[in-house]
Amino acid sequence: MRSSVDAILLCGGKGTRSGAKKNKVLCYFGVKTALEYCLDVFFGLCDNIIVVAAKDDYEEISAVAESYGAKVVVGGTTRFLSVKNGLKEVKSDLVLIHDAARPFVDRETVENCIASAKRYGSGIAAVKVADTVKRVNDGAIIEEIDRKDLYYMQTPQAFVSNDIKKAYLNASGEFNDDSAVYAAYGLTPHIVTSRSSNKKITMPEDLISTPPCQKIGTGIDFHRFQKGRKLILGGVNIDHEMGLVGNSDADVLTHAVMDALLSAIGEPDIGVLFPCTEEFRDADSIRLLETVMRKVDEHGCKVISVSGVIMAEKPKMKGYIPSMRAVLASAMKIDTSRINISATTTEGMGVIGEGNGIAASAVCLLQEYATAKT
């Protein structure tokens, strides 16, 4: 006979240590929030899903949970009280309790926890300790601990519903997880081998180290020569008898880089963002690049690398390229090693080959890190 299964997804934390701008379960990891990743896994495996939310996040979490048919209840001031509130809504034979701040739990682990709860009364996701463990006192190592039987506890943790309900009703004191409450009631928790990827988002580095979404952008720009203008490329003044025509400083290389960045984040190009108006007449393109970078940050992205190519018959660029890389890298707040600039000619062909202007192209690779979309 099939056992019915409910799931409790805990979303009551604030994520203060992570440095996130809002509840970390509402932060985006690529194209989805942490909560959506969890709902995707538990939906279809469970008869009912109960999402326990903090009062301040109730409406936003409800909007996410609605399409999954999940019930949302308000949690307590602690994880312990939030679990108790969630357990009140459980009607099935078995219950899974999971921290939604573990967005990358896999379906197989959830299924194994359910199977263990059916067989042993409980199924606790855990991974073996891989590192050497030592006991330390006042900075001094005093004992090496055998890691053979040591495990890191994770969630989900599955139980026979009636057992874990009674355990929580009879519990008093401090508990680190649900298996500790279960054990305090006199029952023996049973381990299910999980994966290290089922990590909990806790610290700022966890927001970036989880699997990212990468985006590629491309940009290209052309400007004609004109006497009486300064020639500026990559924010660097180039010694030449002519400069480039444009409403701004006509920095064709920086323009290509900006368009590549905007392309990657799905924003309109610089012609829309910085139109040919008096506001941007003779504008410094490096300052405009800094504005574009603020948009990149708003989209929750970091620059992995940028590659630019200058196409010009003259002047020669070799001596200026290191300075261009340094200026552009500074404006994008990246290491100089992450940007490369090269130069080429068109072998006398076309308007570039005839010495009438300069063109530039750029390609960028961005990494979308976990961020709260507002």
Q: Coil, strand, or helix at residue 349?
A: coil
- Does domain 5-209 fall into CATH 3.40.640.10? no
* CB 152 within 8 Å of CB 133: no
pLDDT of 18 higher than 50: no
- CATH 3.90.550.10: which residues of the chain? 5-209
Residue 354 has what pLDDT? 87
pLDDT in tens, 273-313: 999 999 999 899 999 999 999 999 888 788 989 999 999 99
CA-only gyration radius of the chain, Å? 28
Contact 356, 349 (CB under 8 A): no
Cβ 123 vs Cβ 190: under 8 Å: yes
End-to-end Cα distance, the chain: 46
Q: Where in the chain is the domain with CATH 3.30.1330.50?
A: 213-372
**Are the beta carbons of 75 and 81 closer than 8 angstroms?**
yes
46 φ, ψ to 5°? -120, 150
Residues 223, 244 contacting (CB under 8 angstroms) = yes
Backbone angles phi, psi at 313, to 5 degrees: -75, -35
Q: What is the DSSP letter of 26?
A: G
Q: Give the pLDDT of residue 204.
A: 66
* Residues 304, 150: Cα–Cα separation, whole Å: 38
Whether 370 has a pLDDT exceeding 50, the answer reads no
Mean pLDDT of all residues belonging to the chain: 91
Tokens representing 142 are 């005093």
Residue 358 has what pLDDT?
A: 95
% of the chain surpassing 90 pLDDT: 76
Q: What confidence tens digit (pLDDT) does each residue in 198-255 have?
A: 999 876 656 655 555 689 999 999 999 999 899 999 999 999 999 999 999 999 999 9
Contact 115, 25 (CB under 8 A): no
3-class DSSP assignment, residue 44: coil
Cβ distance 111 to 45 under 8 Å?
yes
- Give the pLDDT band (50/70/90) at residue 374: very low
The C-alpha angle 221, 290, 211, rounded to 5 degrees, equals 95
Q: What is the pLDDT of residue 372?
A: 37
State how far Cα 59 lies from the chain centre: 23
CATH architecture of 213-372: 2-Layer Sandwich (3.30)
pLDDT of residue 152: 95
Task: For residue 219, give the DSSP letter.
Answer: E
pLDDT of residue 21 exceeding 80: no
Q: Of the ranges 77-91, 111-125, 341-355, which one carries the lowest mean pLDDT score? A: 341-355
pLDDT digits (tens, 9 = 90+) for 180-212: 999 999 999 999 999 988 999 876 656 655 555
Q: What is the pLDDT of residue 156?
A: 98
Summarised one tens digit per residue, pLDDT across range 129-182 is 999 999 999 999 999 999 989 999 999 999 999 999 999 999 988 899 999 999
The string of pLDDT tens digits covering residues 94-127 is 999 999 999 989 999 999 999 999 999 999 999 9
pTM: 0.59
Q: How far apart are CA 267 and CA 302, in angstroms?
A: 15
